[in-house]
Amino acid sequence: MRQNQPILNKRQPKDLRESALGMISTSSFPAIVGTADMMLKSAAVTLVGYEKIGGGHCTAIVRGGIADVRIAVQAGAETAEQFGQLISTSVISRPSANLDAILPIGSRLSQFINGGYSRLSNQSIGLLETRGFPAMVGAADMMLKSADVQLAAYETIGGGYCTAIVRGNVADVAVAIEAGMYEAERIGEFHTLMIIPRPLDDLEETLPVDKYWIEQPTPVMVPIDIKEPMKELIRLPDLELRSIDDKKLL
């Protein structure tokens, strides 16, 4: 686990007045996470966070230099269109300080600058979204039973949409997501899924983590096998061997 370090780095403009906000809205939480991943990998921007306004609408918000934000939003929009989930995009150059202070993204930006670390680094992400809570719970249970993954959290975005988020290596996450998809279809309505093999640190910092996240397996307590203490040996007297005719042999 790495030490706490300021996250303000080359991705963040030194002068926020020369920066821009980029926003992409989709109709699915897995889609917005996949879109955010593409934005981070296409340009030098930072992911401030997400806004969920109900009805299934999710918005990823990035910040960076004006040119980088435009590139990131364009790449993210193309990705969201491929998922069939794009709703809208926006780029705001040199946002007003009052805008930063009032919107929820302002507090997230301050947290972002102050730094932190992710407990989930180096693990792949699997997101499975259903319409209906029972389908999501059933899918999560099936994912946990079908592969070596852990349920990190779940997310709701309104409109009946729920997303289970699992972590593990790439192969296990892929197996778990497939099994969860079939279970969700059996119980209710499967909506969409997303697998991100190598998430960047910026993406890690914005993902929800349940307070009961298990970082290390809990050892199972079993009774200790206590051996019977060794008994003291007793010396036997010397014995004489005699033949049948009672003649002394020794």
pLDDT(93) > 80 = yes
Residue 54: phi and psi, rounded to 5, are 90, 170
The mean pLDDT of 98-110, rounded to a whole number, is 63
Q: Which residues pair with 164 in a beta bridge?
A: 128, 154
User: What's the pLDDT tens digit per position in 193-250?
Assistant: 999 998 888 787 788 776 555 555 555 555 555 566 666 666 666 656 565 555 554 4
Beta bridge partners of 155: 163
Asked whether residue 10 carries a pLDDT value surpassing 50, the answer given is: no
Q: Distance (Å, rounded) from C-alpha 171 to C-alpha 208?
A: 22
Residue-wise pLDDT tens digits, 176-201? 999 999 999 999 899 999 999 988 88
Domains and their CATH numbers in the chain: 16-114 (3.30.70.1710), 124-206 (3.30.70.1710)
As a whole number, the mean pLDDT across the chain is 79
What pLDDT is recorded for position 77?
A: 95
Question: In whole angstroms, what is the distance from residue 23 CA to residue 90 CA?
Answer: 5
Quote the pTM value: 0.71
- Please name the residue that has the structure tokens 């997400």: 50
